[in-house]
Structure 1
Amino acid sequence: MKNILFVVVCLVFQYLSAQPDSLFIKTITPKEERPEWLQKSKFSIDLSEVAFVNWNAGGSNSVSALVGFYTEANYRDKYYFWNNNLTSRYGLNSQQGQQIRKTDDLFEINSNLGYKPDIISNWFYSLRLNFRTQFSNGYKYPNTDVPISRFMAPGYMFFGGGMEYGKNIDALSFYFSPLTLKATFVLDEDLANAGAFGVEPAIYDEFGELIRKGERFRREAGILITNSYQMQVVENIGLKHQVNLYTDYINNFGNVDVDWRIDFDFKVNSFVRATLGSHIRYDDDTKTRESTEVEGEFDEAGAKLQWKQFLGVGFAVDF
C-alpha cells in the first residue's frame, strides 16, 4: 500500500510541478524598493437544505451549515518573505430523525519564513511551522457516547527547515526539508490510554488495573516534501492544490504519510461563490478498529486511506 501511494503521488507531484507559469492565478512581482506587509481576511458561510412534502420517492429533511474564517499576514522584501495564515472551519448537519452531527472541524496555523542570497535567485532557505487541531469532540456516528477525538486529541505540529523553489512563490512552491520534527499531541486521558493516533498505550495488569498511563505526546523526525500552486482554470474558476509527503527516519522509514488537498473556487459575484473540495490522507499512525464477535471488544485493523469531499454554495466577505 505504501509503495503504491508513494509512486502515484510522486507522479502527480511531478506533473503538477511542471505546469507553465502562464497557468498561475496571478504573477506577483515584489516591490524591491521597500519592504511591505500584505494582509487580508475572509469570512464565509455555506448552506444547504433539502425539504420533502408528500414526496412519493421518500427522503429526509436536512439542513447543513459550514462557517469558515481565513486570515493571512505576509511580509516581503528583496531577500526575505514571511507568510502567515490561520484557517478555521466548523460545520454541522441536522437531519430529520437524527441528532445534530459535525461535518467539518479544523483549526490550523501556518508560518513560512524564507531567505534568498540574491535578488535573481528562485531558491530560498526556508523554515516552516504548521499546527492543526479541532474545536470539539468527534464521534463515530450514531454512537455519541464515546468520542474518538477531542480538542488537542489529536493535535499535530510540524517544524523544520530546508530549501524552497518558487519563481512566483505565492503561486508555485516546491519545498524539501531533510529534517522536520513532527509532534503528535493526545491530551485526552482515555484516548491516550487507548493508544490513539500512534502514542504509546497504557499498560494494565492481568486484573485490568492500570500500571502505566498512556503517553500524551509522540515525537518524530523525518523528511518533508511539499508542492503547492494556484491557477486560474477559466474565468471565475480558481484552483488551489497542496500535497505534503512525510516519512519518519526511525519508525518505518519509507512509509510515506500523504496529505493532499484540491479546492475549486467558483466565483458568482463579489459575495456569492461555490466551493468544491477534495482532501485525501494516509497516516500510518492513525489505526482503525473493527468490532469482534465479543461485544465491546475491537481488533486493530491498521491504517486506511482517508478521503473527504465537500461541495457548498454560500456567501464570502473579504476584508
Structure 2
Amino acid sequence: MKKLLLILSFTLGIFINAQVLLDTASIKVDTIKHWSVLGKQSLIINQAAFSNWVGGGGNNVGWLVGADYNITYEKDKDLWENIILLNYGQNDTKGLGVRKTQDVINFSTNYGRKVSKSWYLSVGAGVLSQFTAGYEDGNNPAAKKISNFMAPGYLNVGMGITYRPNDNVNVTLRPSNARWVFVLDKDLQTAGTYGLKADGDDSLLQYGFLGTAYYKVKLMENVNVTNTASIFSNYLDHPERLVLAYGLILNLKVNKFISSNITVDLMYDHNQIKKTQLKQTLGVGFAYTLDNGVKRSDRKDSQWWIKK
C-alpha cells in the first residue's frame, strides 16, 4: 500500500510539474506580438499678441493637428507594414485672415516575403494628397487656386525588393511601378497642369521606377531624427525628369505629453513647378504616443525563424 501511494505521489508530482511548464511555455508564446501599433497624436498651438509695439507685428493664433501611425504585422517570413500620416494646420493673422500652414494625407502599405536575412520580395501601394484647396500668395483664398483634394492626388502601385535590417532602416526598390496622377478639381483640369495632356483630363498614368528610403536615428536621449526620401523615373515620358522628395523630422521630447518638432520638406517635380519646393515648420505642443508593446522583431527570444 505504501509503495502504491509513493508511486501515485511521484506520478502526480511529475504531472503537475509538466503542467506548470506547459502553462509557462504557453504564456511565453502568447506574449509574442505579431501585430504592433505605434501611433502619435499631436496638437500644436501658436499664438502672438501685440499692443503699442513699435517693432510692429500682427496678432495671430495658429494650430496644427496630426496623426502618425505605423501598423506592422510580423510572423515567420511575412512582413506587412502600414503607414498613416495625417496633418492639417491653419494660422489666423489680424488683417490677413486664415491661411493654411500644413495639409498632408499620406497612406502606404507594403507586404514582403523574406527571401534572405533582411531582404524581402515585396508589393505595395501608396496614396498621397491633401484635405483642402491651396492658393497662390501664401494660401490667400482670394488668390488663384493651385491645388485641392486629390488635385493633385497620387496613387502608386508596384513590386520589387525591400531591405529592412531593423525597425529604423527600410529601403524599397520597385523597378515596376504604376503611378497615377489625379486632378479631380475641374477648375484645374487644363493641359499642362500636373502633366495633364489635354483640357478636361482628370488623370495621367505613368509607369517607371520608384525608390523609397526611411532612416531613423537617435541623436541623444529624447532627441530623434527621422529621414525619408523617394525618387521616381517615368519610363514612358522623359525618364531623366526625376521626381525627388526628401523629408526630415527632428523630434525633441520634453516629457510624455509635450514635445517639439522641426520639419523640413524638399521636393522637385517637373510637372508641378520647374523649381525646388521647400517647406519648413517649427512647433511645440501636446503629443501622445500609443505603443502596444515590443515588436516581435525586437524580441531576441522570439527570433526563432532566423536560426533556421
Q: Under a length normalisation based on structure 2, what TM-score does the superposition of the two structures give? A: 0.80
TM superposition shift of 1:143? 5.3
Contact kept, 8 Å, 1:88 with 1:106, in 2: the verdict is yes
- State the partner residue of 2:222: 236
1:40 counterpart (35, 38, 41): 38
Aligned to 1:124, the other structure's residue is in SS state strand
Contact kept, 8 Å, 1:115 with 1:125, in 2: the verdict is yes
1:307 pairs with 2:278 = yes
Aligned AA (1:277) = T
1:69 counterpart (59, 67, 71): 67
CA distance in 2, matches of 1:235, 1:60: 37
TM superposition shift of 1:145? 5.2
More helix, by proportion: 2
- State the partner residue of 2:253: 267
Aligned to 2:187, the other structure's residue is in SS state helix
CA distance in 2, matches of 1:237, 1:112: 28
2:264 counterpart (278, 293, 303): 278
* Total equivalences in the alignment: 259
- State the partner residue of 1:182: 179
Identical-residue share of aligned pairs (%): 31
Q: Under a length normalisation based on structure 1, what TM-score does the superposition of the two structures give? A: 0.77
User: After the TM superposition, which parts of structure 1 deviate over 6 Å for at least 4 consecutive aligned residues?
Assistant: none
Q: Gaps (5+ residues) in structure 1?
A: 1-30, 203-213, 288-302
- State the partner residue of 1:131: 127
1:122 pairs with 2:118 = yes
Contact kept, 8 Å, 1:34 with 1:77, in 2: the verdict is no
Q: 1:147 to 1:267 in 2, by over 3 A?
A: same
1:252 pairs with 2:238 = yes
Considering only aligned residues, what root-mean-square deviation do their CA atoms show, in Å?
1.7
Q: 1:167 to 1:193 in 2, by over 3 A?
A: same
- State the partner residue of 2:294: none
CA distance in 1, matches of 2:70, 2:118: 23
Aligned AA (2:92) = S
Which structure is larger by alpha-carbon Rg, 1 or 2?
2
Q: Gaps (5+ residues) in structure 2?
A: 1-28, 291-308
2:213 counterpart (227, 244, 248): 227
Contact kept, 8 Å, 1:47 with 1:314, in 2: the verdict is yes
1:76-115 aligned at under 5 Å gives the runs 76-115=74-113
Aligned to 1:56, the other structure's residue is in SS state coil
Aligned AA (1:50) = A
Contact kept, 8 Å, 2:192 with 2:271, in 1: the verdict is no
- State the partner residue of 2:299: none
TM superposition shift of 1:281? 0.4
Contact kept, 8 Å, 1:90 with 1:104, in 2: the verdict is yes
- State the partner residue of 1:191: 188
Contact kept, 8 Å, 1:279 with 1:309, in 2: the verdict is yes
